[in-house]
Amino acid sequence: MITIVDYGVGNIGSLLNMARRIGQEAELSADPERIASAERLLLPGVGAFDTATDKLRSGGFDAAIHEFARTGRPLLGICLGMQLLLDSSEEGTSAGLGLIPGGSVRFDDSSGIRVPHMGWNQLIVRKPAAIVEGLPTNHRFYFVHSYRVVVSDERDELARSDYGGEFTSMVQRENVTGAQFHPEKSHAFGMQMLDQWARS
């Protein structure tokens, strides 16, 4: 069972549909107790960093996510949900969840790149992990973001992508994984990735 954190910030309908398409049971939950005891936890997110962190804290979700992470069971953050796994973001002043050391910084558009980074891009996998195993050479994932993650420890970097230079597009520390892109909008490649995460 995949439990999706329902804290009012995220594309949860598409995630539910994707889970069902890969044959996985999924539920939405705004109950911190249920979140803390989940089998697998998915943290979505779109919008502004401080708005999301405020909702996590006001609903007691931050403590529940920390309690879940300590169990060693799989946690996946998507898009803003990945950035929330880190300590901070230039986008705001609130603290992140601090599960992976690092922060988010805005893309530098002085070289002429458009911000936000929006559209299809590929991964440059940096270390082995079940979630990225066996991706076909023609894989592509859908990105929409203005801020990019910078990890404090390069060993937490699972994959990079290239947009005006390479940036961290996936992170992983033990049972905590983050994907900057939207697997639920990435067709067969996103289905493969979520299926592998759900079965690992």
Q: What is the 3-state secondary structure (H, E, C) of 83-147?
A: HHCCCEECCCCCCCCCCCCEEEEECCHHHCCCCCEEEEECCEECCCCHHHCCCCCCCCEEEEECE
Query: Is 33 a known active-site residue?
Result: no
184 is catalytic: yes
Secondary structure element (H or E) that encloses residue 50, with its range: helix 49-58
Question: Does residue 125 carry a pLDDT above 80?
Answer: yes
pTM higher than 0.85: yes
Query: Could you tell me the pLDDT band of residue 9, with boundaries at 50, 70 and 90?
Result: confident
**Model confidence band, residue 200 (pLDDT cutoffs 50, 70, 90):** confident
Cα–Cα distance between 95 and 189 in angstroms, integer? 32
pLDDT band at 193 (very low <50, low <70, confident <90, very high): very high
Which residue among 139, 145, 184, 187 is the active-site one?
184
Q: pLDDT tens digits for 137-173?
A: 999 999 999 999 999 999 999 999 999 999 999 999 9
The active-site residue out of 39, 154, 182, 187 is 182
> Domain containing 122: what range?
2-199
Per-residue model confidence (pLDDT) at position 169: 98
182 labelled catalytic: yes
Catalytic residue among 79, 117, 145, 157: 79
Q: Residue 129: is its pLDDT beyond 80?
A: yes
- Given a cut of 90, whether residue 10 has pLDDT beyond it is no
CATH code: domain of residue 25: 3.40.50.880
State the total domains in the chain. 1
**Tokens at residue 28, please?**
């939405």
The Cα 191–Cα 65 span in angstroms is 24
CA distance linking residue 41 with residue 26, whole number of Å = 10
